[in-house]
Structure 1
């Protein structure tokens, strides 16, 4: 990769690629990176995250692959994180769903990132990430997500605007569209 990403993010992304490769070798579909880690990837670490949210229909296989990479479940008082942590990484990993954005995202748009020599990581399309952020914004519980969506759009002006418009409308119950992202 490049110096575009903060070192701990790149290290975690490489681990994610190794876990993905292990799952593929076992005959499972690759897990897909979503949430804040996908935002960090698409923003070149301009927006940072504290964990890797993952979608996979094979949570047990994914978690076994994490254990093989040295991950453990946090335990003891004060631990509310339900995912997995690695002693050397500063980012946790957690399966957040078995279905990609409730089946609304187009799986054919999932982006594959090759991280030699570690493997390939599957990441939700930037259009779907923007739509997801807009859905969270529209819910009224996460006003900061509007700014994340704006940043992603500004960094990816060549994305599929027709698809993005449709996805934002789906995620926001037709309350918002691309026009909402105008500064």
Structure 2
């Protein structure tokens, strides 16, 4: 489970102004990323990680547009394949072995995913060291 929601925005200063307006604060000190924002009442955290999703490596056509019922605002979320590939890239780095388990769980939950796209994305994220067959067993 993740501790925050990662965001990307080409207009980070404006996004951060809006977060402040909504009551979010930027915690400081040990254990806090300089990119992180948290709402003290909601205990909801966001981290602005980049200006484009996955540094532009994701297929933009696969990013889904979501409009919550009754809302006019929309947001976009990555495809499951891109989420798995991102976790496999972190797993492959050796710095985040727990990401292999997250990748395996997502893989098990979505049997109808695009396996060819997923394999290509994992190879990109792992610099060619891993593919779909290297996802750990859930």
Normalising by the smaller structure, the TM-score range is 0.7 to 0.9
Q: Among residues 49, 58, 80, which one is paired with 2:32 in the alignment?
A: 80
Q: Among residues 117, 121, 127, which one is paired with 1:167 in the alignment?
A: 121
Alignment deviations for residues 9-64 of structure 1 (CA, whole Å, 9 cap, x no partner): xxxxxxxxxxxxxxxxxxxxxxxxxxxxxxxxxxxxxxx32211111111011111
- Measured in 2, the distance between the counterparts of 1:81 and 1:170 equals 26
Q: Among residues 85, 89, 104, which one is paired with 2:42 in the alignment?
A: 89
- TM superposition score normalised by structure 1: 0.67
- TM superposition score normalised by structure 2: 0.87
| Matched residue count | 135
Indicate conservation of the 8 Å contact 1:50/1:90, yes or no.
Answer: no
Superposed CA RMSD in Å reads 1.8
**Structure 1's 182 and 73: CA in aligned 2 closer, same or farther, altered over 3 A?**
closer
Counterpart in the other structure of 1:31: none
1:101 Cα deviation after fit: 1.4
Where has structure 1 moved over 6 Å in runs of 4 or more?
A: none
Structure 1 gap segments, 5+ residues each = 1-47
Structure 2 gap segments, 5+ residues each = none
Higher relative contact order, chain-length normalized (CA < 8 Å, sep 6+): 1
Structure having the higher helix fraction is 1
- Measured in 1, the distance between the counterparts of 2:30 and 2:115 equals 44
- Measured in 1, the distance between the counterparts of 2:115 and 2:10 equals 29
